[in-house]
Structure 1
Amino acid sequence: MSAEPRALLYAIERELKVLSWWESSPPSAEALASTEPFCLDTLSFPQWLQFVLIPRMQALIDAGSPLPTRISIYPMATESFRQLAEDTRALEEAIARLDEALSGQPVSREP
């Protein structure tokens, strides 16, 4: 792997904080129990990153469990952030690097 997944998760967390998207209170248990991809029906994409992706990946790393190898979060990130005024390039890059580290495949960055 080109980069250590734990460091990439930290980079995603750091960028969420830089954008002031890091929340101090978690969503409800019901919101977190969504069965939709990325919890689209109950969470914003930044909430999904903070409260679903990061904790689940950290738990796998801490347990020494295998990490997913079929992962593609970057396309959802670019779509979710497309209409926003904030500069999300650093967050998108961190997500692309996580995808690449886990899948072993290069991610095609949007221009």
Structure 2
Amino acid sequence: MTSHDALAQALRQLETALDEAELWEVSAPLAEAFDSQQPFCVDSMTLPQWLRYVFVARLQALVDARAPLPAKCEVAPALEVWLKDVSGPHKTAVVDALATVDRLVTEG
């Protein structure tokens, strides 16, 4: 399995984990929200919006094009902080799935 294939599988697992945690079905941000210069677009999107409409979408585009992956990816810690006050059975699964994506991108 190539690194792109492994990442594609990990992105599907992340999508499933986010969906099961009810964090995937978020409304699309306004077009101008994508112009943010802040990390994770914190000034214009929620973290679940950013994950779905920016992070997953961009990584999937790289996978589809078999393009080079970013040199480093460390998004799971941000999600862990964002979820710190959230309880539920799916919290760990979401963070673990995102950590796998982080690792695969960094190992590229």
Tell me which residue corresponds to 1:61. 63
- Unpaired stretches in structure 1, ≥5 consecutive residues: 105-111
Q: Decide whether the 8 Å contact of 2:15 with 2:24 is kept in 1.
A: yes
In the alignment, does 2:15 pair up with 1:13?
Answer: yes
The count of corresponding residues between Structure 1 and Structure 2 is 103
Q: Decide whether the 8 Å contact of 2:18 with 2:24 is kept in 1.
A: yes
**Runs of 4+ with >3 A deviation:** none
Deviation at 1:46, TM superposition (A): 1.1
TM-score normalised to structure 1 length: 0.84
User: Between the two proteins, what is the percent identity of the paired residues?
Assistant: 33
Q: State the Cα RMSD in Å.
A: 1.6
Separation of aligned partners in 2, 1:43 and 1:24: 10
Deviation at 1:101, TM superposition (A): 1.2
- Unpaired stretches in structure 2, ≥5 consecutive residues: none
In the alignment, does 2:56 pair up with 1:50?
Answer: no
Structure having the larger proportion of residues in helix: 2
Which one of the candidate residues 90, 93, 100 is aligned to 1:90?
A: 93
